Structure formats: structure tokens, C-alpha cells
Amino acid sequence: MRRFAELSAPAVAALSPDGIAVLPVGAIEQHGPHLPLVTDLLIAESFAGDAVAAYGEAHDLWLLPSLACTKSNEHAWAPGTLWLSAATLMAVFDDLGRSLARTPLRKLVFLNGHGGNSALLQVSARDLRLAYGLSTFVMHPAVPPDHGGGSPPEELGTGIHGGKDETSLVLHLRPDLVDLSLARRNVPEHLAGFKRVRFGGSVSFGWLSDDFGTDGTLGDPTLATAAHGKQLYEAMLAAAGEAFAEIAAFTPDG
């Protein structure tokens, strides 16, 4: 399975400098009443494992142990959310990068399943590049809608948390963890009237997940199906194959 932590120390020392470390980054946070706290970690970890299984031999991928608790303070109001401060998480990324730099591996991919981590990961990617000479990449299973990614049209651009797509993915991966009887449409429709200031718009805004008068969901999970989740997941894995091929070949200076 190409799991880094299952190697011996001498085996790590013998790795190729062309190898690529893949770090799944998740979150433990509320996802409305119908989804589990582990949603982001589940998606990131499952996706990273399947991507490494599919493309690891071709591109020399090595799966690092997942990072579960990250920056989730936009959900701090909800019982069960476990979150690190930005300063703590940045320090963790630095420590992991410093440790990895002592191995032959020169490329590190953050495979991020939680949009709340994205800004810090971009900063950390540059910091690790400067401090330790690693080539660093930030990758998502799919670009989050609040960062400009696609969103089901029924959600009016607000389907960023526990909505149709995310719920469908969990229905595909772990249907036993989903209770659709508790799912409710929670789409703050007034946001669709803003052209610039919106999720994924040209002007971003600070927000907490209880700002919108919902149950913590942003989107419409009532539209979710396991079949839709399977379709999304397979498309995401296909795109990951293309992404890892480019990461393997990438050099900044051409």
C-alpha cells in the first residue's frame, strides 16, 4: 500500500529523491445533524489511500499518516469540533516538513479535505520551500466552492459544508454514518444576490458556520445520493491521476 509509516528506517533512507510524500489533511468538526464529525478526514484519508493505491507505483507516491485535527474554529460553536489554532497548525506543518526533509524525499503534497485549512496550507507550502528546500503542493480531492470550485446549481453557490456533494461522498464511502432523515435544505439564498462578496467570489469574507441561521449545514443534503457520490469520487480519482503525473514531472525552472 506504499504507507510511509510501515517502512523501516533503513528503507526510508533508501527511498528515491524522486518520490512524493502525500499527507492527507482532514478535520474533526460539525457537519450538521446528518453527517459525522469525521466527514472531512474520512474523505481526505479515503481519497489519499485510493489515489496512492492507484497511482503510487507509477509516480512513486508514499502515503503519510493523516493529520486529523486542524483549523476548524469556524465551527467552534458546535459540540464535538476539535480544532487547533492557526499558530499551532502552522507549527505542526513546519515540524512535519522539517522531519520529512531529513529523508531523501523532496516533494510533499498536502491532500486537503477541509477548506478551512487552505489558506494556511498555501502559506506553509511556501515556508517549507524556503526553510527546507522541499517542493510543496496543495491539492484537494475537489476544489472547494468557497475557493472557486464548482457547486450544484440548486445550492446557489452556497453548498460548501454538508450539502449535496459532501453528503453524497459520505453516502458512497460510509453510508452507515449518514442519517438522511435529519437532513434539511439550508441555503442562505440572499447571498446569491451578491456578485462580488460571496463564497468563491472576487471579495472573500470572514464567516462562522452559525452566521447564516442554519443548523450548521450550508447546502442541500436532501439531494444527496450514494450514486452521485460514487460518480463524484471516481471523477476525482481520475483527476488525481493527472495531477500526480504533473507533480512528478514538475520543476519551477522548466
Residues whose CB falls within 8 Å of the CB of residue 38, separated by 6 or more in sequence, listed in order: 26, 28, 177
What whole-number percentage of the chain has pLDDT above 70? 100
Q: What is the pTM of this model?
A: 0.96
- Rounded to the nearest integer, the mean pLDDT of the chain is 96
Strand order, beta sheet including 107-112 = 61-63, 20-25, 107-112, 135-139
Residue 147 has a pLDDT of 82
Give bridge partners of residue 28 from the DSSP assignment: 82
For residues 119 and 110, give the distance between their C-alpha atoms in angstroms, rounded to a whole number.
12
pLDDT digits (tens, 9 = 90+) for 142-158: 988 888 888 899 999 99
What residue ranges define each of the domains in the chain, with the CATH number in brackets? 4-249 (3.40.50.10310)
User: What confidence tens digit (pLDDT) does each residue in 10-29 have?
Assistant: 999 999 999 999 999 999 99
Is residue 87 helix, strand or coil?
A: helix
Contacts of 135 (CB under 8 A, 6+ apart): 106, 107, 108, 129, 250, 252
Please answer whether residues 24 and 117 qualify as being in contact, where contact means their C-beta atoms are separated by less than 8 angstroms: no
Residue 67 β-bridge partners: 25
Q: Cα-flanking dihedrals φ and ψ of residue 203, to 5°?
A: -120, 115
Mean per-residue pLDDT, 159-184: 97
Q: How many CB atoms lie within 10 A of CB 53?
A: 14
Which stretches within 101-154 are classed as H helix? 118-132
Query: What is the maximal distance between C-alpha atoms in the chain?
Result: 59
Distance from the Cα of residue 100 to its chain's centroid:
20
* Per-residue model confidence as pLDDT tens digits over 185-240: 999 999 989 999 999 999 999 999 999 988 999 999 999 999 999 999 999 999 99
- Residue-level pLDDT at 128: 98
Assign residue 162 a region (left: φ > 0; alpha: ψ between -120 and 50; beta: otherwise).
Answer: left
